[in-house]
Amino acid sequence: MNSKDGIIGLIIGDALGVPVEFKSRKELEKNPIEKMIGYGTYNKAPGTFSDDSSLTLATIDSIIKHPEIDYEDMMTKFSNWYHNGDYTSDGETFDVGHTTVLAISRYDDGVNPLKCGGGYEHDNGNGSLMRILPVAYLINERMSSEDVELIYNVSGLTHNHKRSKIACHLYCQIAVKLLNNDISLRDSINQSIDDILKYYKDDKEFDMERGRFERIFSREIFNLDINDIKSSGYVIDTLEAVLWTLVNTNSYRETLLKSVNLGSDTDTVGAICGGLAGIYYGYDSIPEEWLNTLARKEDILNLLDNFDKIINKE
Ligand SMILES: [Mg+2]
């Protein structure tokens, strides 16, 4: 496995979306993103990535140093991102999510890392979904309950509500299918939904959340009109936007531009979409001019070489 497909795919999506985060779809229809631009929302140079990528890289760095998984270490790295600018493009932390900051503050105050994440209904932003992809490289296609527990724990460091955890589970399941099989994006999503519904068949807590995922589980999502797709920072809106975009596009470039131009939470929708699109279409499908603009590209590729040694058990 070559993690740069998915991880660079994710970081590029983040960087494409950063300059237009919070812009409405209407604004982007008039003036769409067609290449890697800079400045805009955060006044950052082209190729600057945000929290989505930084926390993904922090997770990867922690797994490299502790392949057995050390949640203390993972949270320490998240805290160092927030306070010291570790894993950022230019040393400056920006675009910080509310639920994530509260969890880091609890950790800084000495709370057990697995008890830091927000567990209320309003804690269901996309802040764990945006950084969960590294976990998919550690688990088997036939997901065991230990694998799901790992996904839950990594999500729960910041986002501990069942809804966020199910979203992370489905996302990782799709990623794992794509990593292990030569199948289409649509088939990987379809099969993953089947697997998820089977996995939770006797789970009462899941039953309470099931309705929130109904447009996904019923596959209605594949055929919705763009006007029915929100792309906000709410985890369900984000996941719907990602799945809808993936099945309605035919290349890495098209997928990423379509996802970012949905507007609203552009960088995170771009990142989460870019992770799966990167795995499916491959690193070589990422436009070279986007790669050449990416901040700290060589540092990231070096980190991913080390990550590959862990996931391939070299
Ligand atoms: Mg961001």
What ranges do the domains of the chain cover? 4-311
> How far, in Å, from the CA of 39 to the mean position of ligand 1?
14
CA of residue 52 to ligand 1 center, whole Å: 5
Which residues sit with Cβ closer than 5 angstroms to ligand 1, an ion?
A: 50-52, 95, 267
Distance 273 CA to ligand 1 centre (A): 13
42 CA → ligand 1 middle, Å: 11
Dist. CA 175 → ligand 1 center (Å) = 21
Q: Which tokens go with 264?
A: 């609203």
Q: Residue 134 has what pLDDT?
A: 98
Per-residue pLDDT in tens (0 to 9) along the chain, 314 residues: 999 999 999 999 999 999 999 999 999 999 999 999 999 999 999 999 999 999 999 999 999 999 999 999 999 999 999 999 999 999 999 999 999 999 999 999 999 999 999 999 999 999 999 999 999 999 988 899 999 999 999 999 999 999 999 999 999 999 999 999 999 999 999 999 999 999 999 999 999 999 999 999 999 999 999 999 999 999 999 999 999 999 999 999 999 999 999 999 999 999 999 999 999 999 999 999 999 999 999 999 999 999 999 999 98
| β partners of residue 44 | 39
Tell me, in angstroms, the distance from the centre of ligand 1 to residue 10's CA: 11
Q: How far is the CA of 74 from the centre of ligand 1 (A)?
A: 19
CA of 180 to the centre of ligand 1 (A): 29
Kindly give the distance from the C-alpha atom of residue 98 to the centroid of ligand 1, in angstroms, as a whole number. 12
What residues have CB less than 8 Å from 274, skipping those under 6 apart? 9, 10, 11, 12, 13, 14, 16, 252, 255, 256, 259
**Fold type of domain 4-311:** ADP-ribosylglycohydrolase fold (1.10.4080)
Q: In the prediction, which pLDDT does 142 show? A: 86
Q: How far is the CA of 170 from the centre of ligand 1 (A)?
A: 21
How far apart are the CA of 17 and the centre of ligand 1, in A? 8
The DSSP output letter for 95 is S
Question: 177: which DSSP letter?
Answer: H
- 144 C-alpha to ligand 1 centroid (Å): 31
Q: How far is CA 45 from CA 51, 89, 166, 294, in A?
A: 16, 10, 35, 10
Determine the pLDDT at residue 140.
83
For residue 221, CA distances in Å to 10, 207, 226, 229, 237 come to 22, 20, 10, 9, 11
Give pLDDT, residue 260. 98
Q: How far is the CA of 313 from the centre of ligand 1 (A)?
A: 31
268: CA distance to ligand 1 center in Å?
5
Distance 187 CA to ligand 1 centre (A): 29
Calpha distance 82→94 (Å, rounded): 9
CA 51 to centroid of ligand 1, rounded, Å = 5
| Predicted local confidence at residue 141, as pLDDT | 81
pLDDT of residue 67: 97
User: Rounded to a whole number, what is the largest CA-CA distance in the chain?
Assistant: 50
Specify the pLDDT at position 16: 98
Q: CA 235, CA 22: separation in Å to the nearest integer?
A: 16
